[in-house]
Amino acid sequence: MGSPNDQAILAAALLQSRRTILPKRLVAPGPDAEQLQLILNAAASAPDHGQLLPWRFVVVPATARTALADVFSVALRERDAQATPEQMAQAQEKAHRAPLLMLVVVDALKGDPQIDVNERIVSAGCAIQNMLLMATALGFGSALTSGKALKASGLRSLFGLGAGEQALCFVSVGSVQSSKVTRLRPTPDDYVSTLMATQHNPGAQAAKALTSAIAFPGHRAPAAGLESPFEMLVACHERVNRSLDVLDRLQQHVAAKGLDEEARQAARDVMRYFDQAAPLHHQDEELHVFPPLLAGSDTQMHDLVRKLMQDHREMESCWTAAREVLRGIADGHPSLAMELAPVQADVLHRFSALYGQHIADEEDTVYPQARSVLPEEGLQAMSQDMMRRRGVV
């Protein structure tokens, strides 16, 4: 380990050597599996207020580029009905550039509602820069690209974006085929100023402090406070659906390609979700949503709530069986080398099938009713408790 000075010199050299190499100039070979892990791990060192992990990256492998190309051309046609065949082909071609292509997604709703979207985007930016620097250190070129297609409904559905999620940009990495001269960098004089003591204005400060005291007394404005816990519950359902979608695609993948690293990773992802987040979600409902409805006089609602609680017990017991199958996949159990046995596929199918009606009943009937009977203090207590049990506050 060198002295801090040496480290600083090394760090500056790395930072200054990073520059955009446009995706059309990024060619094979891209990062191998080990290099990819280094790049992805670099993101984890980003600052993340409240440890929300408000961002995620979706790798777009060669096999999925055509689907992305289609999304790009459909998005162009939606924006411009007069787009020529050449322009459509150009839009499609962009999906096939660079050996490593990832979409950056940020979640504005996940976790603590006090941490606003700007902080989440800053955290995502830091994670992205860490990855770009690691790619640079490994000798690769890299680029960020954006574009109107990021907001297209086709892209949202291809990547399974939840209600609170937005696509920020693409990250491309690959070997540099050719590059242009590095642009002239700004200097600190261009972007740094110093607050002068003479700028201090006690009157303005006092006014500002008062505004803060009113706007931010530690209790959110009523509208946000009222909406947030139920938005959090709906966001959980989106993640349940996404995990079930992964589970479904995992089975197709194992049937087509056997048990490879991609299958193992998908199995681990699904296990992590249903081991950790799903039980907390059931608790949220059983502690805060169901009791006020059971205390009411609507007997039909009582029946529905009891059925939903029964569903929870069934989901928990089915999960134990489904988890066994996924554990086998994650551990690369040899008996699963090519395909799942019918009984194993059936276990996974039964687990997935429990959610459709359950989620619809909650979102269409139970949540709106519970929300209408819970007083504001109840909503705030619910929100606080949900965050406390997740270790956010």
Ligand X SMILES: Cc1cc2nc3c(=O)[nH]c(=O)nc-3n(C[C@H](O)[C@H](O)[C@H](O)COP(=O)(O)O)c2cc1C
Q: Is 166 in the site for ligand X (CB under 6 A)?
A: no
> Comparing C-alpha atoms, which of 57, 61, 56 is closest to residue 30?
61
Q: In whole angstroms, how close is the CB of 19 to ligand X at the nearest point?
A: 3
Stretch that binds ligand X, among 15-23, 26-34, 351-359, 361-369 (CB under 6 A): 15-23
Q: CA-CA distance, 232 to 277, in Å (whole number)?
A: 12
Cβ closer to ligand X: 148 or 388? 148
Comparison of 129 and 365: residue with beta carbon closer to ligand X: 129
Q: Is residue 104 within a helix (H) or strand (E), and if so which, with residue range? A: strand 100-107
Q: Does 183 bind ligand X (CB under 6 A)?
A: yes
CB-based contact 173:100 (threshold 8 Å):
yes
Residue located via tokens 């892209």: 155
Provide the minimum distance between the beta carbon of 54 and ligand X in the complex, in angstroms, as a whole number. Answer: 16
Query: Cα(7)–Cα(57) distance, rounded to whole angstroms?
Result: 29
Toward ligand X, which CB reaches closer, 133 or 322? 133
Asked if 19 is part of the footprint of ligand X (rule: CB under 6 A), the reply reads yes
Nearest distance, CB of residue 9 and ligand X, angstroms:
20
CA separation for the pair 269, 262 (Å, rounded): 11
Does position 20 interact with ligand X (CB under 6 A)? The reply is: yes
* DSSP H or E segment with residue 145: strand 141-145
Smallest gap from Cβ 169 to ligand X, in A, equals: 4
The angle subtended at Cα 232 by Cα 277 and Cα 168, nearest 5°, is 90
| Number of residues located near ligand X, criterion CB under 6 A | 9
Nearer to ligand X, 183 or 200 (CB): 183
Closer to ligand X by CB, 136 or 352: give it.
Answer: 136
- Torsion angles phi and psi, residue 360, rounded to 5: -65, -45
We find the least distance from the C-beta atom of residue 128 to ligand X, in angstroms, to be 8
d(CA 161, CA 110): 13
Based on the shown chain and the rule CB under 6 A, indicate whether residue 200 belongs to the binding site for ligand X: no
Q: What percent helix, strand, coil does the chain show, rounded to 5?
A: 65, 10, 25
Question: Residue 385 and residue 286: Cα distance in Å, rounded?
Answer: 12
Q: Between residues 46 and 270, which has the closer beta carbon with respect to ligand X?
A: 46
Residues paired with residue 57 on neighbouring β-strands, in sequence order: 104
The yes or no reply on residue 24 touching ligand X (CB under 6 A) is: no
> Is 169 among the residues that bind ligand X (CB under 6 A)?
yes
Of 184 and 343, nearer to ligand X (C-beta) is 184
CA distance 232 to 110: 7
Residues 123-162 that bind ligand X (CB under 6 A): 144-147
The piece of 18-26, 217-225, 249-257, 346-354 that touches ligand X (CB under 6 A) is 18-26
**Which parts of this chain interact with ligand X (CB under 6 A)?**
19-20, 22, 144-147, 169, 183
